[in-house]
Amino acid sequence: MRFPFAFEPAYRVVALAFAITPATAWVDVAEGQLSARFGLWRISTPTSNVTGTQATGPYSVFRTIGAAHLSLADRGLTFATNRRRGLCITFADPVPGIIPSGALRHPGLTVTVADVDGLASALSAPAAAG
């Protein structure tokens, strides 16, 4: 299942500078794998590594607009295309994402997909486990 991001107009304009467009920003849940692409940034992990999800928002524009954002508080990663609502996904084993070498790993990922509830459901479904 593919979950496209929900772009607000201001976010869409700024995102272009980072090669983030509807064609390069999505989350997939298929065959026991969670994959997220956000322009140049990517995350991939087995769905069995997902320990929970929580709908979150609204967010500060300055903390979410543009490129992928790293939380200095908990090393979480955010892929955001709007300030209204997203899904925070937590992992048992932190995953690489913001640095291609994997030198920095993230215990969670927040994504502002159009269907937050559908993504949460797909990640909690028994089929997501493998």
Question: What pLDDT, in 10s, does the model give residues 87-114?
Answer: 999 999 999 999 978 899 999 999 999 9
Tens digits of per-residue pLDDT, 46-61? 999 999 999 999 999 9
Q: What is the rounded average pLDDT for all residues in the chain?
A: 94
pTM of the model as a whole:
0.94
Angle CA 74–83–105, to nearest 5: 25
A 10 A CB-CB count for 27 gives: 26
CA distance 101 to 118: 31
Beta strands in 1-121 (DSSP E): 2-4, 25-30, 33-38, 41-46, 50-56, 69-70, 77-79, 86-96, 105-111
